[in-house]
Structure 1
Amino acid sequence: MNPADLCFSTATELAAALRRREVSAREVVTAHLERVDRVNPSVNAIVTLVADRALEQAAAADERLASGAEAGPLHGLPVAHKDLHDTAGIRTTYGSPVFADHVPARDHLVVERLKGAGAITLGKTNVPELGMGSHTVNPLFGATRNPYDLSRSAGGSSGGAGAALACGMQPLADGSDTGGSLRNPASFNNVVGLRPSPGRVPSWPDKAPWGQLSVKGPMARTVRDVALMLSVLAGPDPRSPLALDTPGSVCAGPLDGDIRGWRVAWSPDLGGSVPVDPEVRDVVRGAVEVFGALGCEVEEVCPDLSGADEAFLIQRAWQMELAYGPLLDEHRHRMAPDVVWNIEEGRKLTGPDLGRAQVLQAALFHRVREFFESYDVLLLPVSQVAPFDVGLAYPASVDGTGMETYLDWMRSAYLITMTGCPALSVPAGFTPAGLPVGLQVVGPHRGDAAVLRAGHAFEQATRVGERRPEVVAAGTTGGGRP
């Protein structure tokens, strides 16, 4: 296999070839490091690289396999971890000047599980400051650029992960999602991202382990690869009190199969509750027609999402203050205005505010639960806009409606967060300007398998995710490693 084949093989194919010893881990890691050298200077996706360490791990992996040791499901696959996830002995900055030189002593649970499955750490992927927002830019490393148009945003907060996948710098990527941070960068970069059901992927360490707003999850270039990675990340852990008991291996279950007769709901604008740019609506509408061609019963309808907006904004502000309030007291002058604003919003909250958010979300859960008694999946836009100017903090307006805060333009994702349902972003098509648009596939409570099956069927019918960005071919020559 030549380097280009290695870098754009699916993770599933690559893992099988590695186990059969048709290619070595050293060859795979070397090919991906060469891709990072050539393309990363253009997109700024990987911000900390541990090339020598990765090559040493690859050599050790080859030796273990040659000795007859059993290979893990991700044996020899290179992965750069989100810079919000602690990596033992590797700089983890959270995109903040406050943590510019922070080197954790332990791995986050998702890193621990990936390494335990045989993955090889390449480094860290870029994030917004403290992971706040769906546009990846921070004072330490600058902005991650969209591989399909370098003047555009790569989304966020897992924006570095999404861009690195699109460019063939890694076959799999870990991420996290509170208001769309796995789904939005997947949509912007023409890759796949899954927000799993809360508890599907355990989290540790965690200041608020009983919370369900933020989840960790997988990103990849295909739905099958996302399922493979989920099978490694998922499963119980005694350090995570909400972790589901279902073993991770179940998540790698069969994806192929006829979805003919599935009852598919869809909405271009979440029942009229959010503005969506026409070019995005057009792509999503075309994607929905594919489900009709696959034999599904498609109906334009949306569950009642009232109360989701208020509940999310309250819970997010509370979470931001809990996580970063002490930093604000000591480092306000080193923090971005949007970060300061969201923490201060948390400080304004009262006990009745938090209680109201819980009541609103409980009512929302039951309305959505009843909705899914009549439908197998719900289809929606992932993002309300296509990738926007990388120099903007966030879009000023969407389809003529002004956006007052850095959160408003992602309501199409964060309203779904509040339902507690799993949601998948799968490549759906491109705008006339050649910018990627993702389709959001939402399933019932803990219906991760349903969204993966639906997304896989759509992916196989369309092959949209196979379109590569021009920067992969053009690239740069040389360039310093981060």
Structure 2
Amino acid sequence: MPVYFQDATTLAQLIRSRQISPVEVMRWHLDRITSLNPKINAIVTVADTALEAAKRAEAELMKGGDLGPLHGVPFTVKDSIDTANVLTQRGSPIFKGRTPSTDANSVARMKQAGGILIAKTNLPEFSYWIESDNLLSGRSNNPWDLTRTPGGSSGGESAAIAAGMSPIGLGTDLAISVRGPAAQTGIVSLKATHGRVPMTGIWPREPRRFWHVGPMARSIRDLELAYHVLAGPDGQDAFATSTVRFDAGIGRESRRRLKVGWMVGPGFGPVDPAVAATVEAAAKALQGLGLQVEQVRIPALERDFALDVFNHIHVMEMKEAFKQATAGRSEDELYKMAKTMLSLPDTSMKDYIDAEQAAERLRDGFAGYFQQYDVLLTHVLPIPAHKHGEVEFVIDGQKVDATYLQGATVPLNITGLPGIAMRFGTSEQGLPIAVQLVGSWLAESTILHVASLLESVSKVRDLHPDL
């Protein structure tokens, strides 16, 4: 397998054993960016210090001593996440030329682990939509089919990793944004429990209780490694208060027989039969591995449609953030989603309070579910990656708008539950189909363990786009 398709853990091991140098790894990835980015448009800024940082990493390696778990490994970062002395323009002409003086804490932690920032990746305007397109840096394409989207809002990140321009990176997730893009490009991603990873240095923050930052990569072990690097309070993000017990370990869950429930609905909206079949195939695979598996329903999801709950809450809070960011700016500087958000009617106070109460019911419903089960297995997206610009779909005979693609992901943002997206199937068009593993609050080790089991029997793990 080419170096640029190795996972970050393998690259770190090869570097540590001096079978390959950080400079060689960096040059291969820089060359890959030069070769492929013109047609994929995943990368918006290359860090001009990346090669020099790789040379320093090589010198440190030759000296010996303690090395971080990602020593010499390149990583990319979504362009809504601050990077010191490297452009962070948030997908908008309003922020053109913006260069932060400090790293977001998540970026700083990746660097402290030895990772080297290679580039920033594309996103929708203000990190807000399910397709990564904006007036400043244009549209990103899916490496599996350039006529299709790699998703949003972390679509540039997912495309870069899928195409071998980066082995690992950081995205953000308000309703779908690390899991949906991962599903559309065939990589893996983790949205940890809300508050596990600080959001310090990332914009926008409203609504704060729904936003997450998380790793995107090529293997489950890379997600586990990055999660351990990223998680923990920073004294600045008040939501980031829980300390992870790393000694609990991913293997602890194997001491007892885990119980997994699987579902594709009702409660999530319509689902394409091929996607539903992939979820069922993953359920059978886990059963074959010795886990207790059964089909389930979660009544709370059927009572309160999570997407409606989300819309009532986030419009009330996020619209104000958009107003502040665009105040005094020309309409020519605004793209589709900023204009759409600003044009939406305000949520009434009654609807807002009703939505908050519905969110509480959803949390209660999941709490009840996780009294009986360790993991929920479901889909990430109801369809594989769609064509650019599509805003309406017919899914299993039902016509829906594009927001419905978030039907199975947004419940985790409302409730703060952790979730992993990973590929487990392929559509008739050769596109990735993913499943989602959901755990109870603070139970990342459980879903990482189950995901690693599923990955071990996956027939699509090492498939890569032919570019």
1:302 to 297, 300, 308: 297
Q: Is 1:162 matched up with 2:158?
A: yes
Residue equivalent to 2:188: 192
Q: Could you list the per-position Cα deviations for residues 84-134 of structure 1 after superposition, in whole angstroms to 9, with x for gaps in the alignment?
A: 101121111111121222212221111111112111111111111111112
Answering whether residue 321 of structure 2 is matched by residue 326 of structure 1, we say no
Correspondence for 1:394: 391
Unaligned runs of 5+ in 1: 472-482
| Shift of residue 453, structure 1, vs aligned partner | 0.8
Offset at residue 466 of structure 1 (A):
0.8
- Say if 2:141 is the partner of 1:145: yes
Q: 1:477: which partner in 2? A: none
Output the aligned Cα RMSD: 2.2
**Matched position secondary structure for 1:188:** helix
Q: How many residues align?
A: 462
- Structure 1's 456 and 319: CA in aligned 2 closer, same or farther, altered over 3 A? farther
Counterparts in 2 of 1:114-125, with a 5 A limit?
A: 114-125=110-121
Letter in 2 for 1:166: A
Amino acid across the alignment from 2:376: L
Give distance in 1, aligned partners of 2:242 and 2:409. Answer: 27
Instruction: Report sequence identity in percent.
Output: 33
Q: Secondary structure at the match of 1:310?
A: helix
Structural mapping, 1:280-291, within 5 Å: 280-291=275-286
In 1, Cα distance between the equivalents of 2:56 and 2:231? 26
Deviations 1:17-41 (A, max 9, x none): 2223222111111111111112222
TM-score, structure 2 normalization: 0.93
Q: Does the CA contact (< 8 Å) of 2:423 and 2:460 recur in 1?
A: yes
Between the aligned partners of 2:428 and 2:390, the Cα distance in structure 1 is: 24
On the 8 A contact 1:84/1:93 being kept in 2, the answer is yes
Partner of 1:476: none
Q: Is the 8 A contact 2:191 2:419 kept in 1?
A: yes
Contact 1:283 1:431 (8 Å CA) reproduced: no
* Match 2:99 to one of 67, 92, 103: 103
The code of the aligned residue for 2:339 comes to V
Per-residue deviation, residues 162-196 of structure 1 (Å, max 9, x unmatched): 11111111111101111110100110111101111
Please list, as runs of the form range in 1=range in 2, the aligned pairs for 1:198-213 lying within 5 A after superposition. 198-205=194-201, 211-213=208-210
Rounded Cα–Cα distance in structure 2 between residues aligned with 1:272 and 1:71: 47
Q: For structure 1, which segment, 34-43 or 370-379, has the greater mean C-alpha deviation from structure 2 after superposition?
A: 34-43
Give the alignment partner of residue 266 of structure 1, picking from 262, 267, 274.
262
Measure the CA separation in 2 of the matches of 1:130 and 1:220.
23
8 Å CA contact retained: 2:260, 2:377: yes
* Structure 1 range deviating more: 348-357 or 424-433: 348-357
Instruction: Pick the aligned partner of 1:365 from 338, 363, 373.
Output: 363
Contact 2:207-2:318 at 8 Å conserved across structures: no
Name segments (4+ residues, structure 1) moved above 3 Å.
205-210, 247-251, 254-261, 350-354, 393-397
- Partner amino acid, structure 1, of 2:460: V
Task: State the match for 2:435 in structure 1.
Answer: 439
Residue 20 in structure 1 maps to residue 17 in structure 2:
yes
Q: Is the 8 A contact 1:321 1:343 kept in 2?
A: yes
Deviation per CA, 1:130-167, whole angstroms, max 9, x where unpaired?
A: 11112111122222111111211111111111111111
AA of the residue aligned to 2:228: S
Structure 2 residues without counterparts, runs of 5 or longer:
none
Partner of 1:349: 347
What TM-score, normalized by structure 1, do the two folds share?
0.90
